[in-house]
Structure 1
């Protein structure tokens, strides 16, 4: 398209809240300009950016957070799709006309647009309860911040959009520095933290809470402390403080059974700080992962209903990262399956953390996507302390809490996953935290960004690519830490939108 609008200025459909927050049903053919008149209208408007998260978490963010890392690869791709394999294989050129790279950009900006609609319209609407108005603003700003956190880590400098824009205004925008985007994210999350409720009634369970904003802010500070901004000790201290506030929140606790954490019967658990909500049943709101991650040519040995896509398959190094007897491996992945019919062993790895039986042949499962949970915050807290060179026993305590939960999960081998007692160096301590984050948070979209912010990507990924794809580690360069700006975006505004180095 010759005149491609860089920010995907399409309002899309609004989504309403029926009896429960998770019942997100689209309202078609709604004239958004005439719609926002009441508190109920604004509640429906707030649902819209929540709902659009399903499009990016569905697959695109998995490509960026997992497939790009050493955690997963593709066991099967249609034809010779470079759009998929170039994300995974550093020996391939990740082209700027990659459709997945473009879709991630566009769909992320649709979420931002929907959040901005809420923020632009809400002040003109009379509320009986001003606190509720502030809550709706806080939800929109959290969702905008979360989406920008993804964009800035994937692309680096990106356009900053804090309001609805006309086409002319959109064409005038250029990329702004990464640090400015992070400051914008912090502003949104600080507002969200101050104005979100601690809990919700059951019908609104799944909306972001105050602890969700605090937890994301801790993660943002950890990222700002590391690469590429390298803000260092003061930001590790900010992350420590926010993580501790979450840890001290009485509403949250680790789920005692690691497997139960991912059960479709245990959505929005005591450990979950924020989940993207999915619901199966033929309404278009179901999740695909049980089917998407199943080996392409498996029968009903892996999933009972629906197609299998064979992507996001665990790598050999991911399989080997688990200690012997760690039950999290069998819960999260498998090294193969027994074919039916035939009974032969098929050594094809697949993710099984998100299991459900699809409602129909088209993948339609009930799993939510857990974007942020308490175990993640425990490990960030432990890391923040070590990076500041302080409170080593407290850092050990929270690292070991994760291991304790794992060894108390049914299926753990007796005597395994013992507590760490000490480390000879800070580097050894940090590598132990890194490993624990890898196995605890496997297939949850954290690994790639952990490697980037800790400046471990070159060491880990050049070796991984050498082993898996014959990649020459000498060819590594830090341009690979960012994805290319989509070509259509550059063509829409070539004077102000320039390509990332190396593409």
Structure 2
């Protein structure tokens, strides 16, 4: 298969279409002119590639979980730290950036859907497919916008500046209705497998519908959409969890929708986002917290470590744990990309000693291992790993969760959960309970450890209304045996850094201040 020309940026076209004969009639360079473009099928394909290229990079992808209980921004002066602690206001630049990003994606999709109608020389089947791809990307943007801000303006066609200053917020229910219909309709015109790897497929449209309807609490729709993807038989669980987030798992049969990257062509720097300070100083941004590490069950018993029957040994906290822990988190003793062991224990004198006064040293005693490929060590700013937006494991767990909430618990539900747990390099004990309350908790823990640092945790704890339980309090890290006092266990806790969460306010972000300043028809969310 060919790989989609995801990196063909619209700017490349724009900079080559200006008219040099008459400067007063120069074509605008911030858009594609229909006088020169939107003529052929190739134009439509190139323009669609430009929309794909707007999809976010590793910073946006990996930041979302750090706004929850399972991650921590170690640079406390950044705007992201305000969001993590829930001390932000409507002027926070990160919040404004997310609003702008998703509406840029929507605007790009709308422009394509409007202008593609100008093309006469195009295969009708290809036109329908491209339209369906753009509608799916637009729905992807609206799913995230709605989960972040609640009611947001539903814009489905290009608008001018005057119109943009007059739009109002659309009720969340109406947006979920729109997403459901758009993705259902789009799936009809999409193939199960695309010739170009990376393009939106039928499975991606239906899978995003399943996610959106789960988020909306429309469990019947979510279950049906997830079941449609399962019955397609196109996707399957990749046997190695470790490989999924390295080059060996790139575009595996589990991946349904991913942002395509390639070394030297269109790369990102996810390695540096998580890297140990001893490898690259002044680089690491986010580290794991105790909340995440404690979520991994014991391998032999399949029980949470807080269960006295689990077999957990606090003096050997990483032994006999769910293997996904060692694939997700670097702990002391693990071998880094330079071939040397990580040592974060206080007083050891290494560049990862949590007590040294260096800005990007882990403050929890751990670093993230997921996405940190040894292949990127030589040039950590040149990673070609794809960023996964949707994979088959999520479809299985959506099917299971929707069934649990509908209280339609049968063997298919247990099979879906256990299929995720049964990877060859994970192979956790089967979940067997059919009690709705117990199974709900097992499912939620499963999502936490399966999708850590894939950007899903924030929306999960928002829709479950558990954020006020899991977020507030100090950030805690590893528990270790005091080298100076054998037998004494010490748990790392950040001094003076406390996360807040107000249930009547922080379940939604504020509408960015600049947006309300420009458009007085936009109302603000409660509490801001």
Specify whether residues 62 and 481 from structure 1 end up closer, same or farther in structure 2 by C-alpha distance, changes over 3 A only. farther
CA distance change for structure 1 residues 61 and 464 in 2, over 3 Å: closer, same or farther? Answer: farther
Choose the corresponding residue for 2:40, options 38, 41, 44: 38
> 1:436 aligned to 2:416?
no
Partner of residue 379, structure 1: 397
2:186 alignment counterpart: 192
Q: Find the aligned partners of 2:260 and 2:213 in 1 and give their Cα distance.
A: 26
1:403 maps to: 421
1:60 counterpart residue number: 60
CA deviations 1:366-397 (Å, max 9, x no partner) are 11111111111111111111111123322111
Does residue 482 (structure 1) correspond to residue 508 (structure 2)? The answer is: yes
Among residues 52, 60, 67, which one is paired with 1:50 in the alignment? 52
- Provide the TM-score with structure 1 as the length reference: 0.83
Deviation at 1:210, TM superposition (A): 0.1
Q: Aligned residue pairs: how many?
A: 448
Question: 2:268 — aligned with what?
Answer: 287
SS in 2 for 1:25: coil
1:252-272 deviation per Cα after TM superposition (whole angstroms, max 9, x unaligned): 111011111122243221001
Aligned to 1:264: 247
| Contact 1:386 1:392 survives alignment (8 Å) | no
Asked if 1:499 is matched to 2:524, the reply is yes
CA distance in 2, matches of 1:465, 1:344: 21
Alignment of 1:149 with 2:143, yes or no, is: yes
1:69 matches 2:68: yes
RMSD: 2.6
After alignment, is 308-317 or 110-119 more displaced? 308-317
User: Do structure 1's residue 426 and structure 2's residue 436 form an aligned pair?
Assistant: yes
- CA gap of 1:344–1:294, structure 2 versus 1, over 3 A, is closer
Structure 2 CA distance, aligned partners of 1:273 and 1:51? 17
Pick from 337, 342, 359 the counterpart of residue 338 of structure 1: 342
Cα distance change of structure 1 residues 376 and 308 upon mapping to structure 2, 3 Å threshold: farther
Tell me if the contact between 2:278 and 2:350 (Cα under 8 Å) persists in the aligned partners. no
Q: What is the aligned partner in structure 2 of residue 4 from structure 1?
A: none
2:72, 2:475 within 8 Å by CA — same for their partners in 1?
no
Q: Select which of 84, 106, 117 maps to 2:111.
A: 117
Structure with a larger share of its residues in helix: 1
What is the Cα deviation at residue 462 of structure 1?
Answer: 3.2
Counterpart-to-counterpart distance in 2, 1:44 and 1:58: 24
Q: Which position in structure 2 is the counterpart of 1:229?
A: none
The answer (yes or no) to whether the contact 2:6–2:50 under 8 Å persists in 1 is no
Contact 2:270 2:380 in 1 (8 A): no
Residue 158 of structure 1 pairs with residue 174 of structure 2:
no
**Rounded Cα–Cα distance in structure 1 between residues aligned with 2:244 and 2:296:** 18
Distance change >3 Å, CA 287–CA 470, structure 1 → 2 = closer
Which of these residues, 365, 369, 389, is aligned with residue 387 of structure 2?
A: 369
Given that 1:359 and 1:365 are in contact with CA atoms closer than 8 Å, whether structure 2 keeps it comes out as: no
Q: SS where residue 318 of structure 1 aligns? A: helix
Name the TM-score, length of structure 2 as normaliser: 0.79
User: Matched residue of 1:443: which SS?
Assistant: coil
CA-CA distance at 1:362 after TM superposition? 7.2
Distance 1:441 1:399 in 2: 13
